[in-house]
């Protein structure tokens, strides 16, 4: 029989299933308190809610089938009549958006007018300040309906309006008997356009169907030994130590409580294992990522409601990052095949839409604890949506592939600052005056329209800054693509405003370097993103890797080489400025602890730019013996010799620790240092592929 804790986990979303089942299985209705709602257990954001359903012994947080049909006699089914919630049940949105604001049927007994709160894990309970007063259904409905109109009955008939259920209800899992249909009837539809289907094709499909029925859909693991809990826990801690600072989309203060879904824990641990020094940790990480991919598919196949859960979307996001940057070509191909999956799930969940404007939350007359909960839940949805957009956009900047999303789709406001997001209690959160500010509630499209990138830079956190840089980089990439592939005379994207904003941001990050010692991981990631965008803006329009390989293996004719030299000489100051940015990116990766997933790809691109400049132009240059030595790559903003070299090209250009890279020996040293720097990014396995390519460039 389910425990009190399992009943406490019923979320608002679960009652969507209850409403659906009231006409089908009356005997399974859960009862809730008719008078006052019991005190919520704790702060439980969307990705922590669980309603157990067993699928082959695996809890997948499905419908209410395993819950008791009745509890206390004082409990009655939730009534939505006259509350405004009727339309909300039909929205294709996760209704556990406010999971612990009113706990409908927690099973907590009423005792002399006081609520007895369920026991919390020790490490989390201390963060909850005082008992919470639950919100009524009408109050939650008012919050929703204040920002969205109710769904009308005719709108609910839209083809994509789907209330998910078990696969045994929703899917056609039986074939009707078609063998008794008369041959004369079949002949009337046999119009003989192509040769008749052979019996062999039917036999092969039948054989495969029997195989699917009797064997696992996936190739079986050779051996399954899930790491013990202490190791999984250690890897979770490594995730929050190394990766969370550069990609803070999970709510750290509430992660790991009793309701955190096991699949999300496993996905987080698989990323953390990449930073582990334990024996076989990298191999274990790869196996765990494959298991997460299969488990997510299994849970959704058996009950599509899981596809509406935020925890599943967060697990898919992490799994996509792991597959894409694992260094395995098969995994990268899988990530490409599944590129649309997180985007589609986020669209279905409407994570790119602003449901609760900050000013609306600030005006709610609620206890401080509940305001904090609403804000944090809304912020986590927002950050997950931005995380998916960042990952999709990186397909273009890291792999030169086409992203699925465009900026107009990002209708949610930029994420808030990190300090309120990291607050471990409502009282700490209340100490940040900007937590409810409405002036910073701008979308990416609004920032692009009024070019207020730098104004927003200091008003948002790590994820918001990453989004700003990624969008500016996308503008630069679009301009380069049009210059490369559009016919002459076609209108191209004007990158001037984006480049100006990037230069200002680069200056800001340099000035903030000493002030943000606690955020050095994020600062390093933002610098390499900024430098990469500026490098691509100023360099000649050239496909990097293919050009390098053709030059390396003498695949160009003399005419093609002359054409390439003219292109790289067409605007010397801009080309030299691109070289300066490439050298700064190279030096930033070497001198900074970079844990961002894009670091290997961006370092590789910078090295290719330096290599091309040396081979195409640098090694043919001659300088007088008294030419000044020019150091590029340092973050020093006031470098007179460097600025003069950019304008005139006079000077012996060098990189710290490399020396001159414009000679064959200097270029070899550059590649040696690049291989060493790439080896320092070993937590992302894709660095191994780039190491192989750099070694090929170094080979005689």
pLDDT tens string 377-404: 889 999 999 999 999 999 999 998 899 9
Q: Once rounded to an integer, what is the mean pLDDT over residues 432-451?
A: 76
Residue 515: what pLDDT? 56
Whether 102 shows a pLDDT value over 70: the answer reads: no
Tokens matching residue 201: 């094709």
What letter would DSSP give residue 690? H
Question: What integer best gives the mean pLDDT of the chain?
Answer: 78
Residue 630: what pLDDT? 92
What does the alpha-carbon distance between residue 634 and residue 249 come to, in Å, rounded to a whole number? 32
**Residues 447, 453: contact at Cβ < 8 Å?**
yes
Strand locations in 28-118, DSSP E?
32-33, 54-55, 58-59, 75-76, 110-111, 114-115
**Residues 81, 93: contact at Cβ < 8 Å?**
no
Q: With bands split at pLDDT 50, 70 and 90, how would you rate the model's confidence at 434?
A: low
**Residues 334, 320: contact at Cβ < 8 Å?**
no
Could you tell me which residues come within 8 angstroms of residue 629 by beta carbon, excluding any fewer than 6 positions away? 641, 651, 652, 654
pLDDT tens string 267-309: 999 999 999 999 999 999 999 999 999 999 989 888 888 888 9
Residue 488: what pLDDT? 67
**Residues 597, 325: contact at Cβ < 8 Å?**
yes
What does the alpha-carbon distance between residue 574 and residue 579 come to, in Å, rounded to a whole number? 9
Q: Once rounded to an integer, what is the mean pLDDT over residues 526-553?
A: 95
pLDDT tens string 68-85: 333 333 323 333 343 333
Residue 516: what pLDDT? 56
Q: Which of 155-169, 277-291, 384-398, 414-428 has the lowest mean pLDDT?
A: 155-169
Residue 175: what pLDDT? 86
Whether 492 shows a pLDDT value over 70: the answer reads: no
**Residues 267, 313: contact at Cβ < 8 Å?**
no
Whether 161 shows a pLDDT value over 80: the answer reads: no
Nearest to 164 by CA among 60, 39, 275: 60
Residue ranges covered by each domain of the chain: 1-156, 589-698
User: Global pTM?
Assistant: 0.77
């Amino acid at each position: 029989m389910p425990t009190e804790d399992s009943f406490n986990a019923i979320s608002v979303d679960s009652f969507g299933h209850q409403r659906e089942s009231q006409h089908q299985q009356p005997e399974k209705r859960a009862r809730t308190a008719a008078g006052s709602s019991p005190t919520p257990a704790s702060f439980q954001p969307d990705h922590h809610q669980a309603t157990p359903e067993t699928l082959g012994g695996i809890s997948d947080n499905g419908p209410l089938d395993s819950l008791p049909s009745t509890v206390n006699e004082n409990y009655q089914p939730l009534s939505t009549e006259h509350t405004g919630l009727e339309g909300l049940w039909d929205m294709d949105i996760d209704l556990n958006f406010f999971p612990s604001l009113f706990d409908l049927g927690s099973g907590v007994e009423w005792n002399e007018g006081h609520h007895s709160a369920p026991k919390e894990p020790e490490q989390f309970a201390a963060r909850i300040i005082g008992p919470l007063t639950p919100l009524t259904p009408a109050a939650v409905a008012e919050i929703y309906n204040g920002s969205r109109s109710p769904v009308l009955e005719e709108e609910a008939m839209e083809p994509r309006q789907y209330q998910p259920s078990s696969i045994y209800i929703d899917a056609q899992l039986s074939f009707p008997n078609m063998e008794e249909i008369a041959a004369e009837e079949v002949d009337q539809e046999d119009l003989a356009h192509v040769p008749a289907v052979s019996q062999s094709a039917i036999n092969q499909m039948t054989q495969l169907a029997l195989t699917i029925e009797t064997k696992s859909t996936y190739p079986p693991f050779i051996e399954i030994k899930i790491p013990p809990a202490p190791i999984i826990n250690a890897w979770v801690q490594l995730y929050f130590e190394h990766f969370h600072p550069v990609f803070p989309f999970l709510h750290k203060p509430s992660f790991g409580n009793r309701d955190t879904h096991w699949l999300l824990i496993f996905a987080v641990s698989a990323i953390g294992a990449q930073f582990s020094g334990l024996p076989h940790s990298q191999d274990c990480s790869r196996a765990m990522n494959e298991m997460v991919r299969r488990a997510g598919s299994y849970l959704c196949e058996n009950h599509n409601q899981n596809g509406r859960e935020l925890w599943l979307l967060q697990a898919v996001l992490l799994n996509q990052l792991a597959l894409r940057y694992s260094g395995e070509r098969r995994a990268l191909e899988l990530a490409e095949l599944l590129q649309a999956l997180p985007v589609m799930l986020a669209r279905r969940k409407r994570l790119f839409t602003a449901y609760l404007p900050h000013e609306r939350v600030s005006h709610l007359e609620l206890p401080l604890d509940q305001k904090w909960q609403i804000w944090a839940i809304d912020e986590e949805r927002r950050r997950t949506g931005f995380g998916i957009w960042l990952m999709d956009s990186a397909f273009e900047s890291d792999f030169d592939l086409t992203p699925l999303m465009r900026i107009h789709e990002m209708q949610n406001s930029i994420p808030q600052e990190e300090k309120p997001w990291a607050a471990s209690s409502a009282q700490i959160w209340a100490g940040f005056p900007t937590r409810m500010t409405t002036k910073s509630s701008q979308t990416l499209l609004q920032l692009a329209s009024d070019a207020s990138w730098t104004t927003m830079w200091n008003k948002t956190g790590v994820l918001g800054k990453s989004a700003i840089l990624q969008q500016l980089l996308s503008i630069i990439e679009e301009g380069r693509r049009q210059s490369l592939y559009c016919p002459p005379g076609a209108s191209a994207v004007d990158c001037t405003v984006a480049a100006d904003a990037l230069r200002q941001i680069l200056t800001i990050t340099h000035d903030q370097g000493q002030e943000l010692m606690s955020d050095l991981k994020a600062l390093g990631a933002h610098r390499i993103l900024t430098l990469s965008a500026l490098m691509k803006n100023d360099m000649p329009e050239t496909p990097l890797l293919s050009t390098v390989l053709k030059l390396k293996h003498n695949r160009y004719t003399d005419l093609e080489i002359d054409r390439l030299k003219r292109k790289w000489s067409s605007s010397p100051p801009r080309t030299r400025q691109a070289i300066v940015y490439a050298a700064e990116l190279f030096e930033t990766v070497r001198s900074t602890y970079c844990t961002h997933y894009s670091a290997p790809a961006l370092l590789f691109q910078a090295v290719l730019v330096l290599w091309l400049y040396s081979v195409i132009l640098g090694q043919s240059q001659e300088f007088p013996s008294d030419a000044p030595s020019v150091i590029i790559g340092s973050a020093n903003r006031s470098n007179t010799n460097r600025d003069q070299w950019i304008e005139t090209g006079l000077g012996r250009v060098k990189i710290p620790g490399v020396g001159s890279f414009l000679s064959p020996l200097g270029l070899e040293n550059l590649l040696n240092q690049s291989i060493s720097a790439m080896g320092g990014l070993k937590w992302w396995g894709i660095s191994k592929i780039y190491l192989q390519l750099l070694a090929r460039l170094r080979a005689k």
